């Protein structure tokens, strides 16, 4: 992590970044694969996602924070992950809501 970026991360995140187990977790994660999982399981909670990946909840929370807050960096790799009321959703790049600041989730 560069010194330039340290201010955008919480103390908890900075602590997580230093852990070897987190690095191992990140090495196994794949954004496209996660997007596919979430596409099939829309509305998953942090606990449900954590159960799927069988790791420390703080690792999943940290990574989801990065992916939801810096969505434009990952957008073309599978869509935009959004957190609405503690539930996580994936929006396709074709969805007009995927580019707005506070996207609306339409439940069918």
CATH code of the domain in which 69 resides: 1.10.10
Is the residue at 80 inside a domain? yes
Is the residue at 32 inside a domain? yes
Is the residue at 106 inside a domain? no
- Average pLDDT along the chain: 85
Q: What is the largest CA-CA distance in the chain?
A: 44
Phi then psi for residue 89, to 5 deg, are -135, 155
Domain of residue 31, residue span: 11-99
Is the residue at 76 inside a domain? yes
Q: Is the pLDDT of residue 57 over 80?
A: yes
Over residues 37-57, mean pLDDT: 94
Is the residue at 104 inside a domain? no
Is the residue at 92 inside a domain? yes
Q: Is the pLDDT of residue 4 over 50?
A: no
Note the Cα 11 to chain centre separation in Å. 18
pLDDT band at 108 (very low <50, low <70, confident <90, very high): low
| Domains of the chain: total | 1
91 strand-pairing partners: 80
Cα distance between residue 44 and residue 100, in whole Å: 21
């Amino acid at each position: 992590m560069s010194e330039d970026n340290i201010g955008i991360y919480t103390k908890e995140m900075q602590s997580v970044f230093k852990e070897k187990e987190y690095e191992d977790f990140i090495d196994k994660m794949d954004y496209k694969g996660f997007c596919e999982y979430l596409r099939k399981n829309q509305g998953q909670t942090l606990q449900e996602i954590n159960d799927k990946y069988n790791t420390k909840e703080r690792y999943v929370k940290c990574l989801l924070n990065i992916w939801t807050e810096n969505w434009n960096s990952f957008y073309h790799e599978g869509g935009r992950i959004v957190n609405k009321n503690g539930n996580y959703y994936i929006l396709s790049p074709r969805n007009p809501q995927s580019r707005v600041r506070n996207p609306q989730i339409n439940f069918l």
